[in-house]
Structure 1
Amino acid sequence: MTPKTYAPAKPRATKRDYRLAALLAVTAGTVVLGYLVSLMPGRGVTATSAAPPSAASPAKPGLSALPATPAEARRAAAEEDPETEELPVSSSKATDPKAEETKKILKETREKIRAKRYDEAIAFLHAAREQVQHDPRSYMTMARALEGKGDYSTARDFYAAAVDKDPYLADAYFGFATASEALGDLEAAIGGMRNFLHVQPKPDPERLKIAQARSAIWEWESKLGRGAWGPTKGIPPGFTAEELKRDGRGVGIKMPIPGTEQPDGSRKYEIKHQDKFKLFKP
């Protein structure tokens, strides 16, 4: 019997699994794409070291550097005038023949005053009196130095001398008023501040000094028992003296003071200035 022969069996076709390869390809493509994107202009990531807080944001002056009272704020405003103080055209009779030299001397004196080097400013201006005595601003500048030093009586005399030389020198009236306030002469202070407002060529109510002048007149009249709130000495209805604080810029609306809530539910309030509104008539 002849044995049967069989052909070798063909291997069965197997189905390949391409999922792993596809996953690897997608991952590699993502990495390459991310690298290419990082090379585009403006797309790169630059690592920088963080600057210390002192370098990133300069320290701000503390509250202790601010004027504590409206009177101090007004006197500080007198020292912060612009460096260029032009002589009013109305005072052509008092023109200094050495204008440029005088301007330089007064500028240097004001810088000393702003630096609170009052004695140095007084000595410097006194030494240059021959050059600056014809300019009304020299008397006003000397008065500012004396006022900064605390010699209010002599300062007021110099402010008055400046006004005598130029009746339209507005800032001299402002200084006369603040010096009078420091001397306790509120009647003279009110008169000086009214004159300051009267001779202003542009009495813009949004200017700090204009607002301070109006606020000062209101405050002084109140202390003298005059004005809308005179009988209450400047304390508006619904307030007590302990509830109020003023910033020297005028009187406005009643606002709650954050963080002053009391156990009984009450809280303290303050009066906020509003320069854009006519709150009183000087």
Structure 2
Amino acid sequence: MDRIASVRPDRPSGFSRASRFFALVGIGALLPLAALAQSADSYPNRPVKMLIPYAPGGATDIIARHLSPKLQEVLGQPFVVDNRAGASGNIALEAAAKAAPDGYTLLVGNVSTNAINESTFAAVLQTRPSRDLVGISKLVEIPHVVVAAPSFPPNSVAEMIEWAKRNPGKLNYASAGLGTYPQLDMLRLLKAAGIEATHIPYKGGAAQMLPALMTGEVQVAFINLASTIEQVKAGRLKVLATTMPTRRHQRLAGTVRTGGNAEAHRRQVVRGGCSRAVAT
């Protein structure tokens, strides 16, 4: 416990204060692993691989890269971040499920990889997270925002809906792939508003979505706040709506809630069959 208490977050300039908070939450949630290492000294005794289902730069990657050095500091072995982007997260999901059940391959997934994909890709996905993987810890909950480039005329969801009705067929939106939560959240909004929009998926997740949004290649997206907060603060993106219960940043002060309760959950999982002592 003292080893955990002595850990302090690094402050790399590229990461937001919110992201540092998320990393500490993850460390606290993994206290059972630290206790196991101190009592038995049996795990880990070699490097641990952390599979990330998206390209570098998104919230899942950011959180994993905050956790990695802290876990190494506490547990004494490297936790190596391995990005396996593509197929809406299913490439990393399959890799985690096929790994040896020894606790040395972890998946830092989100609600898409851990829950949604099992139903959306049921006909083609060989892995079922509910059957083949074991949850270790819920790491973080991140509020969602609807963002757009500053050049996009609407400044709110209500204005976006009116704009789409006046310009049928011209609205488009980004997502991290078919069946991912940015797509499903937007589909829910479009249905409620009675409008249509063209879906533009980016297999690299936020790392590809953000440049596309900032350059106007795509107009809007549902995305998590951790991936976008620095761009919002710099004025390179604007927020049309948020699921945050309070407006914690001045650039969110004028936004409205979407009426939903969507949040991005990150959870760490391990291959099914892993020793219960290691997994817990």
State TM-score, norm by structure 2.
0.25
The structure where strand makes up a greater share of residues is: 2
Higher RCO by CA contacts (8 Å cutoff, separation 6 or greater): 2
Q: Which has the larger radius of gyration?
A: 1
The structure where helix makes up a greater share of residues is: 1
State TM-score, norm by structure 1.
0.25
